[in-house]
Amino acid sequence: MAGVIVELVISWFLLWLISKKHLSVLGFRPTKNRVTNLGVGLLIAASCCTIYQIMTTVFVNNNWTLNKQVTGKGILESSRWTLVSVLYEELIFRGALLYIAMKKLGVTKACILSAVCFGIYHWFTFNVFGNPFMMVITFLMTAIVGLSWAYAFAKTSSLYLPIGLHFGWNFFWMVVFSNGSSGQAIFVRENTNQLQGLLSWLVFIFQVFALPLLTFWYLNWFSKKIKTSC
């Protein structure tokens, strides 16, 4: 958590030094729309991740079952770590730097730059640097979703929606389903059967595009709603 606090201090300094703005431009103050966006982001991401996880097992004679080894303390610790990591990444890639880039480069170029940086960053967090095939796959997965989250910040002028989307996906990916390294997931696979061939690629495509497409759809709906209410 100390790292997040340091990020906030650095963000405040950069915003004031370059744009003469305060942290308020990141949209921290809760409003009805922002809290709604947070909830919608959580729901969209949780739904996409759950459907994806079911798809990885239902076609190969596999199932998800309750993890008998999991503990309440483990779930709380994994949840805390997931939230902190999400806040850490959001402040880097969708925070002050994105705001400044939007003012200097425009929304489209700034969001693309943010997405590219997000994709490259995951080469190192996923430990795939040096493996060309996995670097391409990792970049596609993270840069595309990173682009949608960058636009979520740009269109709502707040971090609430990108945080909701990011935390919703990561929480279900690591804490609800067994894709983290801690072993403290609520559900685990019954066996090691995995998808193969064309079906595997179709499910992968769903994983890559479902959440970003739903995010862009919601942003379009949200923008129309805001214009109507004005």
pLDDT in tens, the chain (230 residues): 788 899 999 999 999 999 999 999 999 999 999 999 999 999 999 999 999 999 999 989 899 999 888 888 888 999 999 999 999 999 999 999 999 999 999 999 999 999 999 999 999 999 999 999 999 999 999 999 999 999 999 999 999 999 999 999 999 999 999 776 656 689 999 998 999 999 999 999 999 999 999 999 999 998 887 777 66
Report how far residue 136's alpha carbon sits from residue 158's, in angstroms, rounded to the nearest whole number. 30
Cα angle value 206/175/219 (rounded, 5°): 45
Give the start-end residues of each E strand in the chain: 64-66, 187-189
The encoded tokens of residue 42 equal: 């959580």
Report how far residue 95's alpha carbon sits from residue 19's, in angstroms, rounded to the nearest whole number. 13
With beta carbons less than 8 A apart as the criterion, state whether 44 and 215 touch.
yes
Q: What predicted TM-score, i.e. pTM, was given to this entire model?
A: 0.94
With beta carbons less than 8 A apart as the criterion, state whether 37 and 222 touch.
yes
The encoded tokens of residue 84 equal: 């902190």
Secondary structure (3-state) at 66: strand
Output Rg (C-alpha) for the chain, integer angstroms: 18
